[in-house]
A = this chain, B = another copy of it.
């Protein structure tokens, strides 16, 4: 493990680490924000999953989340979005391969060897984080777009593991939209039954635990109708009696300006669950 960035920020530290992932079979970079409170006692952890094309840098430089994490005493962990490195399979286009891991475990070649982001996010990364005495094992999870899909699906698949979940502009039904269909066909094969295990709209139907979902979506989002389709989540939650707060934010698009505008409310939401 190597610390490659270490910068004072809102009284705490914005670090970036490179660590070996055995699950992914490559080195991974991770942004970790330690609020001032982490110097005194263990703090709960909010995991942030970024969207297509992102690395660990996008969230830590653009979201302005550290201010709120410092207020509430929450550690922020922002991993990269796929395995990386020369030996890792890739594809043309921004929506498959590197930068587009979709937070699942691939079963098809050439992806199955390295593309196991689900196991990395659910198991290996928290184990690595919680080995630090500054971090408690109280966990929350959030993310944007592909990372919103990841956050919702992972929380629903792991009852009891996360105290709270939220998402910005999530891909709620990857099986029904082009981004998800392309990625799932490549990573999981053409059998659509295998897709349901990573599809939030499908997972809501079978969810044992009724963990409330907080979702913010800009109504000027350029991907709203083609890739995101939050009304599919709304209908699934209504049918299943699953608690959902879906907020359509007027005028907002898919960018980090949207995330920055509401990340404070999301962190307050997670703080209530993590410290309640």
Q: Which A residues lie at the B interface, using CB under 8 A? A: 7-11, 14, 61-62, 64, 66-67, 218, 220, 249-253, 255-258, 260-261, 264
Pick 15 A–B contacts, CB within 8 A, sort by A. A7-B253, A7-B257, A8-B218, A8-B249, A8-B253, A8-B257, A8-B261, A9-B261, A10-B261, A14-B257, A62-B62, A64-B64, A64-B260, A67-B260, A67-B261
Contacts of A67 in B (CB 8 A): 64, 260-261, 264
A204 CB → nearest B CB, Å:
29
Contacts of A258 in B (CB 8 A): 7-9
A131 CB → nearest B CB, Å:
24
> Are A7 and B260 touching (Cβ within 8 A)?
no
- How many monomers of this chain does the complex have? 2
Contacts of A10 in B (CB 8 A): 260-261
A209 CB → nearest B CB, Å:
34
**Whole-angstrom distance between the alpha carbons of A258 and B11 in the complex?**
10
**Whole-angstrom distance between the alpha carbons of A61 and B257 in the complex?**
8
Contacts of A257 in B (CB 8 A): 7-9, 14, 66
**Whole-angstrom distance between the alpha carbons of A175 and B149 in the complex?**
54
> Are A11 and B261 touching (Cβ within 8 A)?
yes
> Can you name the residue of chain B whose Cβ is closest to the Cβ of A61?
B62
Contacts of A260 in B (CB 8 A): 9-10, 64, 66-67
